[in-house]
Homo-oligomer: A and B are copies of this chain.
């Protein structure tokens, strides 16, 4: 997926790999701050700003999902597959990746109906998972 990052004027650094790897290890969504902390605790000397930059790159390359947590913080998640959405447990944070082809079509149709082009959308479902029933 995405491009192999050759030829382009982008350089490969251990920092980018470190972020990519740490994101892959993480379970669920993590913030840049959390990821930076993890990396530091593992002995890395990577800077916070770099983690932010690397995550932004991964996200815009489609290699990471982004969504804003309820307390105004961007959280990321490694993402191998293409476009999809999430079902997220409000209390434990467990996430399920869901395929929503029906809804994709619906969204595009609605947009087209109103003369909108270059459409995109945000769809997230929240709930309490079976393990979290008090």
- Identical copies in the complex: 2
**Is A117 touching B110 in the complex (CB atoms < 8 A)?**
no
Is A38 engaged at the interface, CB distance under 8 Å to the other chain?
Answer: no
Q: Which of A1-22 contact B (CB under 8 A)?
A: none
Q: Which of A75-134 contact B (CB under 8 A)?
A: 87, 89-90, 96, 98, 100, 102-103, 106-107, 110-111, 114-130, 133
Is A49 engaged at the interface, CB distance under 8 Å to the other chain?
Answer: no
**Is B123 touching A123 in the complex (CB atoms < 8 A)?**
yes
Is A41 engaged at the interface, CB distance under 8 Å to the other chain?
Answer: no
**Interface residues in chain A, defined as those with a beta carbon under 8 Å from any beta carbon in chain B:** 68, 72, 74, 87, 89-90, 96, 98, 100, 102-103, 106-107, 110-111, 114-130, 133
Between A and B, 12 residue pairs with Cβ closer than 8 Å are A72-B72, A87-B111, A89-B116, A100-B110, A110-B125, A111-B127, A116-B127, A116-B128, A117-B128, A120-B126, A120-B127, A121-B125
